[in-house]
Amino acid sequence: MALGLGLMMALSAVACGGGTDEKGQADSSGQGSGMVEEGEAGADREPITLTFGVPYSDYGNGIHTDKNLFLQRLKEVTGVELEFVIYDADSYALMCAGGDLTDIILLTTNTPGSVEALIASGGILPLDDLLDEYGQHIKANIPDALEAVRDKENGDKIYGLPTNVSDAGSIPRRNADIGFRARYDIYKQIGSPEIRSQDDFLNVLKAMQDYERERTGENDIYCFGSFTDWGTWPYYICYPFMYGLMDTKTGFSYDRVTGELVNNYTDGDSVYWDGMAFFNKAYQMGLFDPDGLMQKVAQYDDKVATGKYIATIYSPGPLDPSLLGEEAVMTYLPGTAFPNVNETYAMAYPAGYQMEASRAISASCPYPERAMQVLDYIDSPEGSRFLLNGVQGEDWDVVDGVPQLIGPMMDAYRNGTQNEYRRDRTGDALCKGCMSSGNIVLDDGYPVDLTTGAEFISQTVNAAERAFAQDFGSDLFYPGQVYEKWIEEGTVTDITTAEGALKVASLGSLSEEASLISAEAEDYLASNIAKLIFASSDEEFQKEKDSMIAKFRELGFDMVEEEMIALFDAAHRDYEERAN
């Protein structure tokens, strides 16, 4: 593996305690080594090193890889030391083209045709036999996801293990998920005006921005901004999700309300284009940061945290109370500007992110069996809980029959230092969301991630969140409960069913020609997005919109649509057959 293809970080591991039953199986409390017997691993097996290629990591935040307790336990159980390679889009493309892959690699479909090419060339291994022999936890945890990525065109084999699989939540999340939140503390200061439309919403935001600029004397405070390092993600996710849509392949969305496939690029009446018009209107009103298309997500998050952005397109914080005051909180505002409060409850993703962000084992891996054992340990009750929550008995434990965070880990969440505390103790900081199959509900009836449970939320809600909730009911204690109340009252909706995710997961592959057209269309959009958002008038916006739609058609996107319709119809039939 050439170091020039990414930043290689050696992750050293030494022994650390833990327990299994006499067969090496994980018990329901979360203690256990997975399907690897300790007698086979660790001291009784020659230690090896495997490389793991990932597209992002918290290394830049100072993680101490030589002290990480999760990696120490992983090595003790499996005998494997992991060495991470962080790649960007360019180095990933080079890796795929040259076959110079890491032993384990997180695949991405952002490079068109790369996954298909790796399968066709034999660059990554079919995993069926390895799963049968060494992947029992993975098979038990994500059966739908494995079936969704089974490649019917290449021997009906499984080549990737999906990540981000989750079950539908039964309790409201702390502050929902991706969507338009705004500073509720400022909203109250301007008199909590009524919001009945998106025009009302933008006018209220304008009043909030004017108030905050006058109060602070700072004219670089805005409501909205964006970021470039996630491609066109902010535009096909944020606004469409507020209408119940979910993303599929580039240029298309699935409408979870109507069950229809939506062409985002050439359908000028789509919700996608409504969203682009929304951002442009915000810009025309002076609400969109003119530097907001020249920054990365880390800069965006910093502006939210420090009060430079008083509304957000995806994440509600965290906010810095030392700068903004203890009362600062980012929430959905009451009213009917948008029909959907996205993911008040965790949405079911039984197929996860499918081949997008799936774990694969390269054909050049010298120890594919050991690689699968590593991945299966990470999916075991012990490994998955350790990955996300730290050491049982120190960071989390079963209290009165309920697994929950305890001690210094819970204290760190209460005082806002959890990121620093977790770096040496958990595994998710190594590459968040890419090492395990997802937030699975274990045999004890509780999710892997204990920060998603009611016990955690009730103990960590801050004063500002509680104050927001109390404004809408004396029996409410955090924002998610307020959104649940709005849903029950019929003011807004939330869609959490698995149907859409399973249909999207079953979509087959576009042809190579269509994939290249799709990629070219997205590149064109990314390169010209500023012309839309920064259009100086409605007339200029419409001109740019018409020009872009014409360009998409010129590139051949109508052919992509034809293939997508055929793939979607096939996926719908496949879903119906499996459902029956």
The pLDDT score that the predictor gives to residue 409 is 95
Give the residue-averaged pLDDT of 121-149: 94
Is the pLDDT at 12 greater than 70? The verdict is no
Nearest CA to 458 out of 177, 185, 172, 184 is that of 172
Nearest CA to 68 out of 87, 54, 81 is that of 81
pLDDT digits (tens, 9 = 90+) for 305-324: 999 999 999 887 789 999 99
Is the pLDDT at 529 greater than 80? The verdict is yes
Lowest mean pLDDT among 269-283, 301-315, 342-356, 434-448: 342-356
Handedness of CA 372, 361, 440, 136 (dihedral sign): negative
pLDDT digits (tens, 9 = 90+) for 66-91: 788 999 999 999 999 998 888 877 88
More confident site: 149 or 528: 528
Rounded CA separation 105/98 (Å)? 14
The pLDDT score that the predictor gives to residue 49 is 94
pLDDT digits (tens, 9 = 90+) for 400-456: 999 999 999 999 998 878 888 888 888 876 776 788 999 888 999 888 999 988 778
The pLDDT score that the predictor gives to residue 64 is 54
Is the pLDDT at 62 greater than 70? The verdict is no
More confident site: 429 or 280: 280
**Averaged confidence pLDDT in the chain:** 86
Is the pLDDT at 65 greater than 70? The verdict is no
The pLDDT score that the predictor gives to residue 346 is 81
State how far the alpha carbon of 161 is from the alpha carbons of 104, 115, 141, 313, 378, in Å. Answer: 11, 13, 11, 30, 12
Are 237 and 244 within 8 A, CB to CB?
A: no
Is the pLDDT at 578 greater than 70? The verdict is no
* pLDDT band per the 50, 70, 90 thresholds, residue 210: very high
**Helix and strand element counts for the chain (H, E):** 23, 16
The pLDDT score that the predictor gives to residue 162 is 93
Q: Say whether 530 sits in a helix, a strand or coil.
A: helix
Percent of the chain with pLDDT over 70: 88
The pLDDT score that the predictor gives to residue 163 is 92
Give the residue-averaged pLDDT of 106-127: 83
Rounded CA separation 514/113 (Å)? 10
Give the residue-averaged pLDDT of 483-490: 95
* pLDDT band per the 50, 70, 90 thresholds, residue 32: very low
Is the pLDDT at 63 greater than 70? The verdict is no
Rounded CA separation 380/96 (Å)? 30
Are 109 and 247 within 8 A, CB to CB?
A: no
Is the pLDDT at 470 greater than 60? The verdict is yes
Is the pLDDT at 202 greater than 80? The verdict is yes
Percent of the chain with pLDDT over 90: 58
Give the residue-averaged pLDDT of 493-502: 73
Lowest mean pLDDT among 45-59, 252-266, 334-348, 397-411: 45-59
The pLDDT score that the predictor gives to residue 419 is 81
Is the pLDDT at 37 greater than 60? The verdict is no
The pLDDT score that the predictor gives to residue 26 is 34
The pLDDT score that the predictor gives to residue 356 is 78
Lowest mean pLDDT among 127-131, 132-136, 171-175, 539-543: 171-175
The pLDDT score that the predictor gives to residue 355 is 84
Is the pLDDT at 57 greater than 80? The verdict is no
State how far the alpha carbon of 526 is from the alpha carbons of 357, 523, 532, 547, in Å. Answer: 21, 5, 11, 14
Residues facing 405 on adjacent strands = 396
Is the pLDDT at 151 greater than 90? The verdict is no
More confident site: 418 or 378: 378
Print the SS3 string covering 454-515. Answer: HHHHHHHCCHHHHHHHHCCCCCCCCHHHHHHHHHHHCCCECCCCCHHHHHHHCCCCCCHHHH
Q: Say whether 165 sits in a helix, a strand or coil.
A: strand
State how far the alpha carbon of 460 is from the alpha carbons of 174, 439, 456, 465, in Å. Answer: 10, 20, 6, 10
Are 264 and 272 within 8 A, CB to CB?
A: yes
* pLDDT band per the 50, 70, 90 thresholds, residue 38: very low
